[in-house]
Amino acid sequence: MNARLPTTEMEPLERMTLGDRAYRQIADLLIAGRLAPGERMSLRSTAEALGVSMMPIREAVTRLVADNALEVTPNRAIRVPMMSATRFVDLTAARIVVEGHAAARAAASRDNADIERIAELEEAFRKETQKRKPDLAAAVAYNQALHFAVYEAACSPQLAEMIRSLWLKAGPVINLDFRANPDRLKHTRAVIFHADLIDALAKSDPDRARAAVEQDIQGAADFIISQGHLPE
C-alpha cells in the first residue's frame, strides 16, 4: 500500500500571491524540521531556491517573524529561534490541549476515507521503524503527515490553523531530534499510540483518540528533554 504524503467573481482574491507561496514553503520547512534552531536563513539563497525575487521572501519572513517562527538578531540576520527547555515544556502543554481536542473531534467527524488515509500513513510509518536501516527523513514525514491527516479529519479550519502555528515553533526541535537520534525509532512508543489512535477513530471514541495523541506528544517531548540538549 502506497502512502501519499498530505478557488468566482472573487477568484483573484483567492489566489495565493508569491508572498503567500513563499510563506507556505518556508513554513513547511520549519514544520518538517528542515531548519534547525539557531540556523540562519539567507534571504537571497532562499529567493534563488524558490525561484522568486527578494520582495515575496521579505514579505514571508516578516510574517514568520510575527508568528515567532523566525527572529531577527541584533545584527539583522534572520534565524530560527533557539528553544529553551522551559519554553519547550510550555509549547508541549499547549500542543497536548489543542491537538488532543482535534483528535477527539476527528473521532466524531471522520469518514471512511479519512480512516483509510490515516491507516496508510500509520502502516508506512510502522514499516519504516521496523527496517534495519530506516530512512529517518521518511519516518519523520510519515509521522507528520499522519498527525495532520487526523487533524484535518476534525473538519475545523480554526483548529488546523492553531496546530500549524504550534508546529511552526515545535517542528525544528521535534523533527530534527528524530533525525539526529536513529535509536529513537527503535525504542519509540509512537507505533503503539498510533495504533490506539486509529482504533479509537474507527470506533468513534473521542476520549481514546484524545488520550492516544496526548501520550504520543508527551512521550516524544519527554525523550527530547531527557537528552539534555535544550538550554534552560
9 has pLDDT over 80: no
What number of CA atoms fall less than 13 Å from residue 191's CA on the CB side? 14
pLDDT in tens, 62-84: 999 999 999 998 888 899 999 99
CB 150 within 8 A of CB 213: yes
How high does pLDDT run on average in the chain? 89
Higher pLDDT, 64 or 13: 64
The grid coordinates of residue 3 equal 502512502
171 has pLDDT over 80: yes
- Domains plus CATH for the chain? 11-79 (1.10.10.10), 85-226 (1.20.120.530)
Binned at pLDDT 50, 70 and 90, residue 89 comes out as very high
Binned at pLDDT 50, 70 and 90, residue 199 comes out as very high
The grid coordinates of residue 29 equal 520547512
CA distance 154 to 179: 29
Taking residues 202-212, report their average pLDDT. Answer: 98
Confidence (pLDDT) at 11? 42
Taking residues 170-196, report their average pLDDT. Answer: 80
pLDDT in tens, 14-35: 467 888 999 999 999 999 888 8
Q: 3-state secondary structure string, the chain? A: CCCCCCCCCCHHHHCCCHHHHHHHHHHHHHHCCCCCCCCECCHHHHHHHHCCCHHHHHHHHHHHHHCCCCEECCCCCEECCCCCHHHHHHHHHHHHHHHHHHHHHHHHHCCHHHHHHHHHHHHHHHHHHCCCCCCHHHHHHHHHHHHHHHHHCCCCHHHHHHHHHHHHHHHHHHHHHHHHCHHHHHHCCHHHHHHHHHHHHHCCCHHHHHHHHHHHHHHHHHHHHHCCCCCC
pLDDT in tens, 110-157: 999 999 999 999 999 999 888 888 888 888 889 999 999 999 999 999
